[in-house]
Amino acid sequence: MRILINHLKNVGDVLLATTAIKLVRDAYPEAWITLMTVPHVAPFFENHPLVDEILPFAYKSKDGSVSSMLQMVKEVKKRNFDLNISLESRLRPILVAFLAGIPVRIAGDGMDRYGKKKEWYRFLFTHLYPITTQEEEHQSETFMKVVRPYLKLPANIKAKPSLPSASAESIVRMKELLQVTQEENSRKKVLFCVRGTHPEKNWPIHYFAEVIDAIFQKKNTDCYIIGAPGDEDYAQTVIKECKMPVQNLCGKTKPTDLVALFGLADLLVSVDTGTAHIAATTDIPIVSIFLCTNPIQWSPLSEKAKVLCYEFAFGRFGLKPTPEFTTHKEILPEHVLQAIEAQLAAKK
């Protein structure tokens, strides 16, 4: 069997979708599984044990979306897929699967909060499975709901998000980056991811600077800001506010380096972004800051994650705060510092 799974969103979304891919892999251990995703996300999933092939789809390419889509139809058609699983609601990958003649095309009915305006293209699928209570459950569960009915699996069959293990090369490179040596080093290494995919996810710059200065002085720590190359300038604005030294590592890590990086550091402090979801696949403690997104749906899936939330993050979705999250009307530096101190103490 040959299976095409499409998910053309950000790395955190695709990572959480590996829960569904794991169920598919377990059901069809001999199948050839291709993951179609956007080019900037593709490197994170290279050599993933659940996936045989990554198929990047630049559906917003400069040469025109129609031509890029038709080229992808040709690529998909020549692979002779038996099954397509759509784990998101974008029209173009769904059209690709339809035009390429994949005989079985499944999706979740209601995967998108705004899905009603997209009802007209339901006919492109052969199987649609209802997705309900999406905002009251974790997104990883929503992805699994898409594939369980087709695979005839009960609701108690679950999987965890996963990424490939760190390579020896990445571990060596990240040790050099963090200046980790064989000698005993009592200084903790704390990573900060200060920028989300949307501006409304960003905690104030001066708050981050205050926290970095405080833990540098109180906790004998080395502090680093991590992110993509495009985050470098934003990270520099945080560093300019800091009185204590902090290193800007934005753009200095490859996607495949992050698992190694988190294996060497002592703590990650992050806004709601894919970086926190990547960290959650490792053993690193996490302090995650949720300002506007639904923590029930999008929090990092780790027993070592402490999630701080604005009340607004619940109220805007008609939800009530739940005990597993620490909720404030406003998240202040002292709240994040308390969480950091608790996480570092627990790691000893």
Question: In 3D, which of 186, 172, 217 has the Cα closest to residue 337?
Answer: 217
Whether the full predicted model's pTM is greater than 0.85, yes or no, is: yes
The pLDDT of residue 111 is above 90: no
Burial of 324 (C-beta count, 10 Å sphere; 0-12/13-18/19+)? exposed
Q: From 3.40.50.300, 3.90.950.20, 3.40.50.2000, 3.50.50.60, which CATH number describes the 168-347 domain?
A: 3.40.50.2000
Q: How far apart are CA 165 and CA 159, in angstroms?
A: 17
The pLDDT of residue 118 is above 70: no
CB neighbours (10 Å) of residue 266? 19
**Residue 51 confidence class, pLDDT cut points 50, 70, 90:** very high
The superfamily CATH assigns to domain 2-151 is Glycogen Phosphorylase B; (3.40.50.2000)
Phi (first) and psi of residue 308, to 5 degrees: -105, 135
pLDDT digits (tens, 9 = 90+) for 171-207: 999 999 998 765 545 688 999 999 998 899 999 999 9
The pLDDT of residue 113 is above 60: no
pLDDT at position 119, please? Answer: 63
Start-end of CATH 3.40.50.2000 domains in the chain: 2-151, 168-347
Residue 79, helix vs strand vs coil? coil
Q: How far apart are CA 108 and CA 253, in angstroms?
A: 35
